[in-house]
Chains A and B, each alone.
Chain A
Amino acid sequence: MTATEGVEAVVGSLSTGEPEPMERGTTARGPWSPAWSRFRKHRLAFGSLIFCALLILTAIAAPLIAPYGYEETDIQHKLAGPGSPGHLLGTDLLGRDILSRLIYGLQTALTVAFGAELTALVLALAIGLLAGYLGGRVESLLMAFTDVMYAFPSYLFAVVMVTVLGRSIFALVVAIGIASWVTQARLVRAQVMTLKEREYVEAARSMGAKGSTIAIRYILPNAIGPILVTTSFAIPAAIAAEAGLALLGLGVQPPTPSWGAMISEGSRYLLAAPHMLVAPAVLFALTLLAFTWIGDGVRDAFDPSGEQR
């Protein structure tokens, strides 16, 4: 409890303009409540959160929202410019509606990114907790593996994995997830190493709590802040990785749309049809920025003193 109260005290004294006693009577527990109120004050991050929520809803409801299917061709109107009747953002070389392909591409991007980061998070938590808590052999194994993975540029690894697993959403999730879990596992381990020396953990141990209970009930909840920060920065990185692999011709199998493939196609017909490049590039940029700003907000919320910057 002391640790939690400490965080609240720090956050309370830092929150701008609010009179001090306000924090006293609240029933807020854990790092969540003050973190959330700090996040909400971060206007850019909060706006980005709303934008990303809309993106996620759009991706889920893609078949309802997209005016056409992603494979549907309109042979009469190939390379139609933006604003042409029936095609708000125009059509591509085969007469496929660009807006619809963007929406389905969003689905691809978000499925891969969230899937990959979930995979990475689960792996990182499991192995990081084990390594940090048990030490010994698990730890030296993790460190040896980390050394190898650091020598292996993550995109190289992802390329090799996609070569092995084929060009599917599943393959991309695994490839990007495995390429990015190492950093997070190291972070979890470092967190656990410091947290397990804290007094409240020692107290729990002296009262006879089991190792697994200590790891899950006492250490994990307090390590979650920094982990959340890295994860929220990892999401835009995974989106960029998916598009990058597609750019190299190693993304999802066409005709399933991917923003990276759309950008690559658009650059080839740059002079004849610049709208093929403009639309995916702009939406891609906005999405990446919004997710990055959420990351900024999460970081500031959990780390008010700016230590990690």
Chain B
Amino acid sequence: MGLAGYLGKRAVRLVLSLIAVSMLTFTLLQLAPGNFADLQRVNSGATNFGGVGTESMVGELESRYGADVPVWKQYLIFMKGAVVWDFGPSYKYASRNVQDIIAEAFPVSATLALLAVLLALLIAVPIGVFAALRQNTKTDHATMFAVTLGHALPSYLTAAFMILLFSATLKLLPSGGWNGPEDLILPVLALSLGPAAVLARYVRSSMLETLREEYVTAALAKGGPRRTVIIRHALRNSLIPLVTVAGPLLAALMTGTVFVEALLRIPGLGLYFANAAASRDMPLLMGTAMFFALILMVTNLVVDLIYGLLDPRIRTVGGGSHDGH
């Protein structure tokens, strides 16, 4: 099967999965109790008995957002808009369209995610190599212990410890907000430690494997300087599989910055998504969910393609290989 055929097959799967995700989300959200109008009434304090929005207000909102037509029609209207990248206006931010909110907030999350993955690589590669070269020594065990710590703690907890240290105790960095470049430091650092731990473990085992390869032994036997052999022969080859790990990590981070965003009050897309869920802002919720799913699937596809380019052995196996992992 050629590359075009493979791409076509993956594209079809991607579209089908997106449709499935949209139907699942849409159906589930139809079952959600309470609606935006009711919540608005409750929150603005103008509640009547039972905390229900007044008839006229609900009616007005419903006709404005097309909620007075049958459910299947609502879904089709939503999908018709989604195809041309138009999700309609948000309930909560009534003057703005969902796609504009996504366009404004996603770059914030994406910046955090990209910087965090880069930093994670910068931390993980030297640590992994270092631990591999000292396999089974005390240094190796200590490093791997630190890696376990980084792996076990979620990013928002790391962020909490960091604001305790850098903001409350040392008073060096702001404890949140989004005003200047200094606001990037804590979230990026907190987000990078988990992925760094995963990557470091991977680099270590991959490095240990390549160090045992015959071409490394041969290069050393020929009298090549140890440092050159390690960097040129061992490291370069053990970094190839790293793409398969770093890619999904990036995808997970693109959608996973939300907790750190919530803790540090950063206006990223994840925060909009969580707020949309809390306030029943259905268009925003649907739009962001679809967008996140799309990002995740596209990143996975790109990773598979890059991996195929780097390692020709996979290309010859053909299209079915992605089921293996």
Residue positions of A touching B, CB distance < 8 A = 147-148, 151-153, 155-156, 159-164, 166, 236, 240, 243-244, 247-250, 263-264, 266-267, 270-271, 274, 277-278, 281, 284-285, 288-289, 292-293, 296, 309
11 residue pairs of the A-B complex, CB under 8 angstroms, read A148-B17, A151-B21, A249-B274, A250-B277, A266-B160, A267-B163, A267-B175, A270-B163, A271-B167, A285-B153, A288-B152
Residues of B within 8 A of A247 (CB): 156, 259, 262-263
Q: Which of B148, B205, B289, B297 contacts A156 (CB 8 A)?
A: B289
Question: Which residues 59-76 in B have Cβ within 8 Å of A in the complex?
Answer: none
List residues of B whose CB falls within 8 A of some A CB: 13, 17-18, 20-21, 24-25, 28-29, 31-33, 148-149, 151-154, 156-157, 160-161, 163-164, 167-169, 175-176, 205, 252, 255-256, 258-259, 262-264, 273-275, 277-278, 280, 285, 289, 292-293, 296-297
Contact indicator B31/A289 (Cβ below 8 Å): no
Does the CB pair A153–B296 fall under 8 Å?
yes
CB-contact partner of B256 in A148, A153, A166, under 8 A:
A153
Residues of A close to B152: CB separation below 8 A: 236, 288-289, 292
Q: State whether A244 touches B175 (Cβ < 8 A).
A: no
Give Cα distance in the complex from A201 to B263, angstroms.
Answer: 53
Task: Say whether B274 contacts A309, CB under 8 Å.
Answer: no
Within the complex, which residue of B148, B160, B161, B258 is in contact with A155, where a contact is CB–CB below 8 Å?
Answer: B258
Interchain CB contact (< 8 A) of B292 among A153, A288, A296: A153
CA distance A153 to B256 in the complex (A): 8
A197 smallest CB distance to B (angstroms): 18
Complex CA distance for A163 and B284, rounded to whole angstroms: 13
In this complex, what residue of B is CB-closest to A239? Answer: B154
Of A147, A247, A250, chain B has the most CB atoms within 10 Å of the CB of A247
On chain B, the residues within 8 Å of A284 by CB distance are 157
Contact B149 A153 (CB under 8 A): no
**A51 and B25 alpha carbons, distance in the complex (Å):** 40
A156 to B258, CA, bound (A): 10
Add 12 more A-B contacts to A163-B28, A249-B278, A288-B152 (CB < 8 A).
A151-B293, A153-B296, A156-B255, A159-B277, A240-B157, A243-B156, A248-B259, A248-B277, A266-B160, A270-B168, A271-B175, A284-B157
Q: Are B259 and A163 in contact (CB under 8 A)?
A: no
**B229 → chain A closest CB, angstroms:** 26
List residues of chain B with CB within 8 A of the CB of A248.
258-259, 262, 274, 277-278
| CA A244 to CA B273, docked complex, whole Å | 14
Task: Name the one of A236, A263, A267, A285 contacting B176, with C-beta atoms under 8 angstroms.
Answer: A267
Point out the residue from B28, B154, B160, B258 that lies within 8 Å of A164, measured CB to CB.
B28
Contact of B17 among A147, A162, A278, A293 (CB under 8 A): A147
Q: When the two chains form their complex, are residues A166 and B293 in contact, meaning their CB atoms are under 8 A apart?
A: no
Q: A162 to B277, alpha carbons, bound, how many Å?
A: 9
Q: How far is the CB of A280 from chain B (nearest CB, A)?
A: 8
Whether B167 contacts A270 by the Cβ 8 Å rule is yes
A278 to B, closest residue via Cβ: B164
**Which residues of chain A come closer than 8 Å to B262, judged between CB atoms?**
247-249, 264
Q: Which of A155, A250, A266, A277 has the most CB of B within 10 A?
A: A155
By the criterion CB–CB under 8 Å, are A166 and B17 in contact? Answer: no
Closest-CB distance, A176 to chain B (whole angstroms): 14
Residues in chain B near residue A152, CB distance under 8 A:
21, 24, 293
Contact B252 A153 (CB under 8 A): yes
| B17–A285 touching, CB < 8 Å | no
Contacts of A153 in B (CB 8 A): 252, 255-256, 292-293, 296
**Chain A contact residues, majority secondary structure:** helix
* CA–CA, A147 and B20, complex, Å: 10
**Nearest-CB distance from B154 to chain A (Å)?**
5
Residue of A nearest to B23 (CB): A148
B278 touches A263 (CB 8 A): no
Contact indicator A263/B263 (Cβ below 8 Å): yes
Contact A163 B280 (CB under 8 A): yes
Alpha-carbon gap, A208 to B147, bound state (A): 51
Q: Determine if A148 and B274 form an interchain contact, defined as CB atoms under 8 angstroms apart.
A: no
Question: When A and B form their complex, which 4 residue pairs have the shortest distance between CB atoms, in order from nearest?
Answer: A248-B274, A292-B152, A148-B20, A240-B154
Q: How far is the CA of A288 from the CA of B156 in the complex (A)?
A: 13
Closest chain A residue to B171, Cβ basis: A271
Residues in A neighbouring B252, C-beta threshold 8 A: 153
Contact indicator B25/A151 (Cβ below 8 Å): no
Q: How far is the CB of B296 from chain A (nearest CB, A)?
A: 6
Contacts of B258 in A (CB 8 A): 155, 248
Q: From the candidates B21, B28, B164, name the one contacting A281 in the complex (CB within 8 A).
A: B164
Q: How far is B153's CA from A284's CA once the two chains are assembled, in angstroms?
A: 9
Q: Known: A162-B277, A267-B176. Contact between A151 and B17, CB under 8 A?
A: yes
Could you tell me if B168 and A151 are in contact, using CB atoms closer than 8 angstroms? no
CA distance A161 to B292 in the complex (A): 16
State the CA gap A296–B264 with chains docked (Å).
32
Which listed residue, A163, A264, A274, touches B285 by the CB 8 Å rule?
A: A163
Q: How far is the CA of A152 from the CA of B252 in the complex (A)?
A: 10
CA gap between A298 and B297 in the complex, in Å: 33
State the CA gap A243–B157 with chains docked (Å): 10
Docked Cα-Cα span, A309 to B198, in Å, equals 12
Cα-based distance from A259 to B29 in the complex (angstroms)? 27
Does the CB pair B33–A166 fall under 8 Å? Answer: yes
For residue B110, give the distance in angstroms from its CB to the closest CB of chain A: 15
A85 CB to closest chain B CB (Å) equals: 24
Q: Give, as a whole number of angstroms, the nearest-CB distance from A305 to chain B.
A: 14
- The answer to whether A159 touches B274 (Cβ under 8 A) is yes
In the complex, are the beta carbons of A160 and B289 less than 8 A apart?
A: yes
Contact A270 B153, beta carbon cutoff 8 Å? no
B21–A267 touching, CB < 8 Å: no
Question: In the complex, what's the smallest C-beta–C-beta distance from B109 to chain A, in angstroms?
Answer: 12
A244 to B260, CA, bound (A): 9
